[in-house]
Chains A and B, each alone.
Chain A
């Protein structure tokens, strides 16, 4: 066990990134030690092995998301790149002057700014589904906000700052009833709850590997094949072409059309291993355990004097955001860190959301599958210490 500031580490910043299981680290090491070669290129054995492992990771992701075909799984750098890919490749081809893109008030900057820039470029309008004080979306406003000009709805599955689990089935049903495709930012969802993109019927689903116990620099864009097929490439280069002459280039088929250049091979293999790890434990078990931690932490922390919870939706996942009267979140963060407890403090890349709640920052504890009730108790004791310091 690692010590931080001479205290045993209590890592409660899983919504920022998760720690990596040995199984994942070993998979990456094994690839580099034994199978390192470029993919989709060589006829030699090593290249074949690397290609097999890379493509096998894609199949693991397909199964994990219950996607229809593995060619609907595109490896990218992370959720951010996946959203940018859709904004650039799908958005630029489908959004025109006077059109609208719909997002929600609880989005991460990565699911706001790409759409904002697209709208600015095209002369389109960005519209926002508002939220209740509890952090739940006001779905009744969708009637008015979905119009014949709406070209896309982009929504988080789980809010990174509040923990709210959005009712995706209902949202997607309402959007589809108006003929609007839906992109789901699943970065905060996949580590905590089972996702079935076929049952959800979402058009795009994105997530990052590092939040689900995989390495950084790898993530996934799922898209319905009909949509992906119709989209122009996002980047150009090796691997994504079928034939190149100086006059004309034709593009490779899915998924390679969207994977220009040598991909993050070890990252994909590491992500595959992380998903296997999560599947072995079972997302139902993980969700049950984390729900227990969240309930316990919510109960204990609410009892402390001067605490205000930010985000009290009925359906929540593994995130506890709060402010403490008279103490700035950064001071909470420093004092907890001195006790070996890692939490996130700040605006969580969701400044419009912070503004909505009238705070500049919050303290956020977020749980992962390896956290324990004892660590929750340490957090509560740590917060008592904060109160002691600040009086």
Chain B
């Protein structure tokens, strides 16, 4: 069961128990809802932009440890980044969790702490959990109205 400890790394469990930026922003200029109808995970991501820089970001909702920790760590990772930097980070993260990271999984230095999600690649059905918040962030930035889903 080595895969299990790879998936549920201590940092992930810690973030799922005490998610960061878990609140509603007082002033929000972009927000979106992400929902996985098959499993019931549901998050709202709030973004405050300054120019094209993410000045503040927060989220609320409910879901499994993977989806909640991913949302929490995403907010930490993209705060202060430009929209295009956040998009690039999403692509790297997506490659990591789908096992397509070009430099051997957790070798992608640009991902920083997000590399703790490398274990997700061994659990294809959980990729949607790890990426739900990210898809929701993209939808918020694009100003989409309809809730997004990773199903």
Chain A residues packing against B (C-beta within 8 Å): 5, 326-331, 334-335, 338-339, 345-347, 351, 354, 360-361, 389-391
CB distance from B3 to the nearest CB of A (A): 7
Asked if B126 lies at the interface with its beta carbon under 8 angstroms from chain A, I say yes
- Do residues B62 and A389 form an inter-chain contact, with CB atoms below 8 A? no
Instruction: Report whether B38 and A331 are in contact in the complex, using a CB–CB cutoff of 8 Å.
Output: no
Contact check, A390 vs B13: say whether CB atoms are below 8 A apart: yes
A330 touches B8 (CB 8 A): no
Residues of chain B within 8 A (CB-CB) of A331 are: 8, 64-66
In the assembled complex, how far is the CB of residue B118 from the closest CB belonging to chain A, in whole angstroms? 16
The reply to whether A361 and B13 contact each other, CB–CB distance below 8 Å, is no
Judge if B94 is at the interface, Cβ distance under 8 Å. no
Interface flags, B43-76, vs A, CB<8A=1, else 0 = 0000000000000000000111110100000000
- Cβ of A339 and Cβ of B65 under 8 Å apart? no
Residue with the greatest number of chain B CB neighbours at <10 A, chosen from A327, A328, A329, A390: A328
Residue of chain B at shortest CB distance from A335 = B4
Question: Which positions in B face A, CB cutoff 8 Å?
Answer: 1, 3-5, 7-8, 13, 17, 38-42, 62-66, 68, 123, 126, 129
Check B39–A330 contact: CB distance below 8 A: yes
- A331-B64, A360-B62 known; A338 and B39 CB under 8 Å? no
Verify A334–B13 contact, CB threshold 8 A: no
**A residues near B63, Cβ cutoff 8 Å:** 328, 330
A328 to B126, CA, bound (A): 13
In the bound complex, CA of A216 to CA of B1 (Å): 33
Contacting pair B1 A334 (CB below 8 A): no
Judging by beta carbons under 8 Å apart, are A361 and B4 in contact?
Answer: no
Whether the pair B126, A334 counts as a contact (CB closer than 8 A) is yes
Known: A328-B63, A330-B64, A334-B126. A361 touches B17 (CB 8 A): no
Q: Which of A326, A339, A354, A390 contacts B40 (CB 8 A)?
A: A354
CB distance from A125 to the nearest CB of B (A): 26
Closest B residue to A7 by beta carbon equals B1
A329 to B39, CA, bound (A): 9
User: Closest CB of chain B to A186's CB: distance in Å?
Assistant: 25
Chain A residues within an 8 Å CB radius of B17: 326
When distances are taken between beta carbons in the complex, the residues of chain B under 8 Å from A334 are 4, 7, 123, 126
Say yes or no: A346-B39 contact (C-beta < 8 A), given A326-B17, A331-B65, A331-B66: yes
Q: Which residues of B contact A327 (CB under 8 A)?
A: 65
| Chain A, Cβ-Cβ closest to B14 | A391
Instruction: Give the 7 A-B residue pairs with the shortest CB-CB distance, closest first.
Output: A328-B64, A330-B64, A360-B40, A361-B40, A331-B65, A338-B4, A347-B40
What residues of chain B lie closer than 8 Å to A328, measured between beta carbons? 63-65, 68
B66 to A: closest C-beta gap in Å: 7
In angstroms, Cα B65 to Cα A345, docked, is 14
In the complex, A63 Cα to B117 Cα: how many Å?
A: 55
Q: Given A328-B64, A360-B40, A389-B8, do A338 and B129 touch, yes or no (CB 8 Å)?
A: no
Q: Which residues of chain A come closer than 8 Å to B41, judged between CB atoms?
A: 330, 360
A347 to B129, CA, bound (A): 16
- Residue in B1, B38, B40 whose beta carbon sits within 8 Å of that of A338 in the complex: B1
**Structural contact, A360 and B42, CB atoms closer than 8 A:** yes
Given A334-B4, A338-B3, 16 further pairs, Cβ under 8 A: A327-B65, A328-B63, A329-B64, A330-B63, A330-B66, A330-B129, A331-B65, A334-B123, A334-B126, A335-B8, A339-B1, A346-B38, A347-B39, A354-B40, A389-B5, A389-B13
From A5, A351, A354, A389, residue with most partner B Cβ within 10 Å:
A389
> CA–CA, A354 to B42, complex, Å?
14
Q: For A329, list chain B residues within 8 Å (CB).
A: 64
Residue from the set A334, A335, A346, A351 with the largest chain B CB neighbour count within 10 Å: A334
